[in-house]
Amino acid sequence: MRSTFFVKSLSKLYVQVLVAIVVGIALGHFMPDLGSQLKPLGDLFIKLIKMLLAPIIFASIVVGIARMNNVHEAGRVGLKAVLYFEIASTFALVIGLVVVNVFQPGAGMNIDPAHIDGSSVETYAKRAEQQGGAFDFILNMVPHSVVGAFAAGEMLPIIFFSLLFAIALARAGKAVEPFVDMLDQFLQGMFGVVRIAMYVAPLGAFGGMAFTVGKYGIGTLASFGQLILCLYLTSAVFIVLVLGLVMRACGLSLFKFMRYIRDEMLVTLGTASTEAVLPQMLVKLEKLGIPKPVVGLVLPTGYAFNADGTAIYLTMASIFIAQAMNIDLTLWDQLVLLGVLLFTSKGSAGVAGAGFVALAATLASMHKIPVEGLVLLLGVDRFLNEARAVTNLVGNGVATVVVARWEKAIDMDQARAVLDRGKAFGEDAPATVLEPVVPVARMGQ
């Protein structure tokens, strides 16, 4: 009996990933030289998923919007999504600002800015300069070439082109329905490839954690323990209180929802990447009873515009650097910082090292906190990234539920039944094997 239970438990993806994380931490600690060489394992898994993201995002958005009753409906859903994103991000920024001022994790470090070598953060500073201001951000949404955007995996330009193409198909009506059906079938094929790629998720989590602990050491955690603890606790408070209240207002349980997406949360924790689980999140949210048009529009857009965990990180990291360098920021300075972060937290979506790039852009625009202060965070950024990635994942899942509930498009009976069960119907097989997506009824029917 015990052996049967053990084998059955080990067949579940979240158990495999959890074991891989623990083994990776142990290997990185006791054999740091070997652990620091295992980064390619984590990179391999993320590359496997990233090669699928562009076609999946494109097909999800196009199929979703094209199957709506009209273009105005798509615009209404998009507007509600953006409004929620801004409200949630503002809450995250304010909570991070309050916590970092109360606990002051950087106080007493007494770092002299003149003695900091900023050469190691020049890459991030240059990327931040390339991003420019709000107008540059808008211009960068329009790709120089559609093919180039897909080849480079640039999320914002892909989303922009997908929206335009989907609106064009929606206006074309029944004439293009066979093409939309074919694109939907293509999407199912992409999800089939994802199911294959997810078999190596535990290997990716193992390699990522072994590299992190092996390269930076557990001692790094102790040195910056207060900042790490503050970020993790703040992220937990935001998820439990803010997102918990939001889910309750929607008539659903946050904790049951988190149990439902536990596989995705653990993979995100191990790989420090929400992109690694985007395809699976699309599948699970549909099986929760949310129509494909809403999921296909809100979730990919949320990945670009709704980064609650990154918002918390940006406020805490900015003030932490100022505290460490004994730079006094007035209340007005911090309010200005908050305003700047409302834009920079959105402007780096889809960019490698997005959190660092957004932070560099923020500090550069403030002219009060040296950009070189990023050096203080280099050693612990990977540990901080895990917290913000998981928070981003949960936040975007909740955002999709909120917009669907706002639209009165979610099947609440199905959602409650799925969450009570802890998994979607038809998923009694190991969690690495997902059922094909069952197309849902169009909105308004």
374 to 119, 148, 216, 384: CA distances (angstroms): 10, 31, 16, 13
CATH code for the domain in which residue 9 is found: 1.10.3860.10
- What angle in degrees, to the nearest 10, is found between the helix axes of 278-287 and 292-305? 140
pLDDT in tens, 333-356: 888 888 777 766 664 444 445 666
Task: Return d(Cα 348, Cα 350) in angstroms, integer.
Answer: 6
Residue among 209, 399, 382, 375 at smallest CA distance from 300? 399
Task: Return d(Cα 286, Cα 304) in angstroms, integer.
Answer: 20
Task: Return d(Cα 438, Cα 253) in angstroms, integer.
Answer: 24
Task: Return d(Cα 31, Cα 116) in angstroms, integer.
Answer: 30
Q: Looking up tokens 């993979």, which residue turns up? A: 267
- Both structure tokens of 365: 């625009």
In a domain, 429, yes or no: no
Confidence of residue 122 (pLDDT cuts 50, 70, 90): low
Task: Return d(Cα 230, Cα 445) in angstroms, integer.
Answer: 47
Does 118 or 356 have the greater pLDDT score?
356
Residue 433 has pLDDT above 90, yes or no: no
The secondary structure of 63-118 as a DSSP string is: HHHHTSS-HHHHHHHHHHHHHHHHHHHHHHHHHHHHHHHHH-TTTT----GGG--G
- Both structure tokens of 157: 């330009």
In a domain, 63, yes or no: yes
In a domain, 31, yes or no: yes
User: What is the value of pTM for the model shown?
Assistant: 0.75
In a domain, 166, yes or no: yes
Full residue range of the structural domain in which residue 241 is found: 2-421
Give per-residue burial for 304-336: e unless 16+ CB within 10 Å, then b: bbbbbbbbbbbbbbbbbbbbbbebebeeebbee
Provide mean pLDDT across the span 114-130. 54
Task: Return d(Cα 42, Cα 49) in angstroms, integer.
Answer: 11
In a domain, 279, yes or no: yes
Confidence of residue 39 (pLDDT cuts 50, 70, 90): confident
Residue 422 has pLDDT above 80, yes or no: no
Task: Return d(Cα 15, Cα 325) in angstroms, integer.
Answer: 43
In a domain, 426, yes or no: no
In a domain, 428, yes or no: no
**Alpha carbon 110 to its chain's center:** 33
Residue 431 is predicted with a pLDDT of 40
pLDDT in tens, 151-207: 877 777 888 888 889 888 888 878 888 898 899 889 888 888 888 888 888 888 888
Residue among 303, 305, 320 at smallest CA distance from 389? 303
Neighbour count for residue 217 (Cβ, 10 Å): 17
Residue among 304, 76, 74, 78 at smallest CA distance from 166? 74
Work out how many domains the chain is built from and give that number: 1
Residue among 355, 406, 413, 360 at smallest CA distance from 384? 355
Q: Which of 255-259, 319-323, 361-365, 439-443 has the highest mean pLDDT?
A: 255-259
Neighbour count for residue 432 (Cβ, 10 Å): 18
Radius of gyration of the chain (CA): 22
Residue 353 is predicted with a pLDDT of 53
Neighbour count for residue 402 (Cβ, 10 Å): 22
Q: Looking up tokens 């998994």, which residue turns up? A: 423
In a domain, 431, yes or no: no
User: In the chain, what percentage of residues exceed pLDDT 90?
Assistant: 19
Residue 109 has pLDDT above 60, yes or no: yes
For CA atoms 220, 223, 229, 230, the dihedral sign is negative
pLDDT in tens, 242-289: 999 999 999 999 999 999 999 899 888 888 778 888 888 999 999 999
133 to 136, 302, 344: CA distances (angstroms): 5, 21, 9
Residue 252 is predicted with a pLDDT of 94
- 160-166 long-range CB contacts below 8 Å, 24 or more apart? 161/58, 162/57, 162/58, 162/61, 162/62, 163/61, 163/65, 163/78, 165/58, 165/62, 166/61, 166/62, 166/63, 166/64, 166/65, 166/66, 166/74
CB 382 within 8 A of CB 212: yes
pLDDT in tens, 41-54: 888 887 887 788 78
221 to 6, 7, 213, 216: CA distances (angstroms): 33, 34, 9, 9
What's at 205, amino acid-wise?
Answer: A
